[in-house]
A = this chain, B = another copy of it.
Amino acid sequence: MAKELKNYINGKWVVAENSGYLDVENPSTGETLGKVPLSTEAEAGRAVAAAKAAFKGWRDTPVAERAEYMYKMLAIMKENEEELSRTLTSEMGKSIPDARAEMKRTFQNIEAACSAPMLQQGYKMLGCARNIDGEVINLPIGVFVAISPFNFPAMTPFWFIPFAIVTGNTFILKPSELVPMTADLSAHLIEKIGLPAGVFNLVHGDKVAGNSFIENPDVAGVSFVGKSATCVEIAAKCAAHKKRYQAMGSAKNHLVVMPDYVQMDELIRNMSTSCFGCAGQRCMASSAIVAVGDEMYEKVSTRFVEDAKNFITANPLDPKYANEPLLTGPVITAQAKDFIHKMIETGVKEGATLALDGRGIEVPGCEKGHFIGPTVFTDVKPGMEIHKTEIFGPVVVILKVDTLDEAIKIINEHQYSNACSIYTQNGYYARKFKLEVEPGMVGINVGIPAPVPFLPFGGSKYSMICDIKMQGQEAFRFYTHDRVVIERYWTED
């Protein structure tokens, strides 16, 4: 029988007070991997209470000592890379090479947090006025919560865990109920590094637990990654509850190809792995290609469709494909598959040309899997639903424009504003593009312009409903308050 996952609260594994268990499904096979409890508000409250109780002692631990735990966390996660990779693949469906790439980013987030003794430093102004000095001290704030999404089961929790903890806060993870096994494994590894009880906690559940954190006055801040509409709701609720928040939302990432580009092999492969890797379920996946000029449009359309056919739609745990980079696994759920099918039908109805249809693919032995193969629409116009909507599947739309200005306009007028890239060898185009587009992450000849964890990560406008990005210096800012101290001593008495 499938294992019932527990919560990790105050240094102990506990059976969750819950409103039921959900089956955790392998999206390739339909097999049940485990059972995840839907924790109640009371259960969530216990985690908050534990984290709150642990705060003062942890805050007062010197930052270099707190960082020691991060070195241990890094070591134990690295030692278990393969098991983590297989676990996340089994419940999420991405390829093993993708899972390993995810683990690398996970490690680098912990590494960035290891820099805390160098980065969690305030500043000091002598002589604000005669005999008066000022200083800014970066202090931890209290209990933080992250509500993480399904598409990077290992990495997204670690956008938060190491930074929150190393800065002196205490922390609760509520992972996506669709991929709780990786979080469970990660928490078991974290358990071994010996953090004081209550510093790190894991609470499984759905929106009930999630919302209860947002409404709990003892929670100082919440991070969320998900749909833009939910981001806005959560942001407004956090503001109303006087909390810090980060809310990273939906995306429609455009790739612009300039007519000067000649490295066609690199170009096409760079684009196709961005579009079809992870079955298009990366928030940094590209899903719209904008070719500038008739000639480039023809060339890109033709070759992109050809290259898409090189992708294998298969169970990523099939030993045959253990090192296969061109693998498109299943999408996360049957509902997701239905939605994508519906969007493909919409595209056809809207008059786009379905140049490659990924529906109806059968993966032998995986009849219950949620597979869709690479799908490409050409002749797409900016007004169409398939261009406006985040499909979150291996579905790509290709648009044609005449000029770079038009391409930029399409990007800036799109409701989502996460990332975009240009392919060009020309320095003028590259500079114009990076300055004039509005998304928060911009690539030049890079299909997935996801910043390494030593740089900030985040979109703009409707794709990021908050002010402070994730990763890098920004993560340190989110998790600390800049207290200003003004000091004077008149005389020696």
Q: Chain A residues in contact with chain B, CB under 8 A?
A: 60-64, 67, 71, 74-75, 108, 111-112, 114-115, 117-130, 132-139, 232, 235-240, 242, 244, 262-263, 266, 404, 424-432, 434-435, 439-446, 449-452, 454-458, 460-462, 465-469, 472-474, 477-478, 481-493
Establish whether residues A137 and B126, one from each chain, have CB atoms under 8 Å apart when the complex forms: yes
Given contacts A118-B472, A425-B426, A485-B444, contact A452 B490 (CB under 8 A): no
* CA–CA, A232 and B238, complex, Å: 10
Chain B residues, Cβ within 8 Å of A64 = 108, 111, 127-129, 452, 454
Given contacts A64-B452, A134-B452, A465-B239, contact A119 B126 (CB under 8 A): no
* CA–CA, A211 and B71, complex, Å: 39
Chain B residues, Cβ within 8 Å of A474 = 482
- Within the complex, the shortest CB–CB distance from A196 to chain B, in Å, comes to 14
Residue in contact with A457 in the complex, picked from B133, B457, B484, CB distance below 8 Å: B484
Chain B residues, Cβ within 8 Å of A117 = 108, 111-112, 115, 125, 452, 454
Q: Is the interface of A mostly helix, strand, loop or mixed?
A: mixed
Given contacts A122-B123, A134-B455, A425-B428, contact A129 B440 (CB under 8 A): no
* CA–CA, A119 and B118, complex, Å: 8
Residue of B with least CB distance to A141: B460
Chain B residues, Cβ within 8 Å of A60 = 127, 130
* CA–CA, A48 and B285, complex, Å: 35
Chain B residues, Cβ within 8 Å of A466 = 467
Residue in contact with A124 in the complex, picked from B118, B121, B244, B439, CB distance below 8 Å: B121
- Within the complex, the shortest CB–CB distance from A397 to chain B, in Å, comes to 23
Establish whether residues B242 and A427, one from each chain, have CB atoms under 8 Å apart when the complex forms: no
Residue of B with least CB distance to A454: B117
- Within the complex, the shortest CB–CB distance from A298 to chain B, in Å, comes to 20
Besides A430-B487, A468-B468, 18 more A-B contacts (Cβ < 8 Å) are: A62-B129, A64-B128, A71-B71, A71-B111, A121-B125, A122-B126, A137-B434, A139-B435, A232-B239, A232-B242, A242-B465, A263-B493, A428-B490, A428-B493, A434-B483, A441-B483, A449-B484, A450-B486
